[in-house]
Amino acid sequence: MTDRHTRTLSDIAARSRAVGERFRPPRFTTIELDQPFVPESFTQLYHTPLYQRLDDRQRLRYNQLYGLRTNELFMLFEQGFTRRVIQRIAGACRSTDPMLSECLWLMLEEESRHHRMFLDFNRRVLPAAYADRHGHFARARLLERGLLWLLTVRPDRWPFLLWLILMLEEFSTAFSRLLIAQQPIDALAPAYVRLHRLHLLDEERHVHLDETLVEQYFAALPATRLARNAAAFKRLLHALLAPRRSGIRVLQTLGGEQPSLRPLLPHLIDAVRALPHDPGLYGIITDPVALPFTHRLQARFPAFALDRGR
């Protein structure tokens, strides 16, 4: 542990506490439902020929539901396996690296804050769907939840989870940045843009902490364990990139709201399932400008580089 390491973490902790002291929970009393939430190119259906079959009203509502689905994915990343992994590491390094431990506990507080913001926004747009649960679009199966739980019990044995956390944190940061940078400035619903602007207050610090953990856990990893972790990482990432259930549930929810669309619904679902990957997610994750930390580490550990052709 170097003085530079301690100073960097001390600065991160100080900035985290300062942001936390100034933060006030947003009140989304007005959400502009006459405007889209995300750029069309971020959605799955936009990349299929059948998108043209939707009228303007249907496209707008699909876009908004897709924006809620994206918020929900962020909630799942931040309060799911990420929390379990970071909790274990923060507890394990409490005596050996107390400053890192403090930063990680602060990070968990911030992730809980993000979760509450995203959930509040989604509940205001779709109150019935979120009345008694946090997930409407992105719900993992019991087997998937069980497997992830087993892996998170020993993050030191499966440090690829840290790599996945880094990639997803950096993806969410890039997504929010791209959203805010959209032109013209009022192209998207201001309330949704504000939500993601608030999300950015903490995420860049989190990415730095994630990179620190990846470097720390991977530096001395034996070649056999490195290869095993790389294989598990790629398998999980390719499953994540596939346009699976959450994107399909967006379409099913849209069909439930708009009966005139129901005859076309099976064809819309087939068109999305035929996509080789989630275009919005894949486009950002494979962009070294959008994810500089991830791609810098991939240059050091090429076994973890994503195959762009898949």
- Longest CA span, the chain: 65
Count CB-CB contacts under 10 A for residue 243.
24
Digit-by-digit pLDDT tens for the chain (310 residues) are 567 778 888 888 888 888 888 888 888 999 999 999 999 999 999 999 999 999 999 999 999 999 999 999 888 887 777 888 888 888 888 888 898 899 889 988 988 999 999 999 999 999 999 988 888 987 765 445 566 666 667 777 888 888 888 888 899 999 999 998 887 878 899 999 999 999 888 877 888 788 888 888 887 788 898 899 899 888 888 877 776 788 999 999 999 999 999 999 999 999 999 998 888 888 899 899 999 988 988 888 888 887 655 4
DSSP 263: G
pLDDT at 148: 66
Half-sphere CA count of 197, side-chain side, radius 13 A: 11
Phi, psi of 291 (to 5 degrees): -125, 70
Q: Which residues contact 46 (CB under 8 A, 6 or more apart)?
A: 40, 279
Q: What pLDDT shows up at residue 8?
A: 82
For residues 71 and 68, give the distance between their C-alpha atoms in angstroms, rounded to a whole number.
5
pLDDT of the residue at 307? 66
How many Å apart are CA 104 and CA 110, to the nearest integer?
A: 10
Q: What is the pLDDT at residue 308?
A: 59
3-state secondary structure of 192: helix
Q: Quick one: residue 254, left, alpha or beta (phi over 0 = left, psi -120 to 50 = alpha)? A: alpha
Question: Taking the CB of residue 154, how many other CB atoms lie within 10 A of it?
Answer: 12
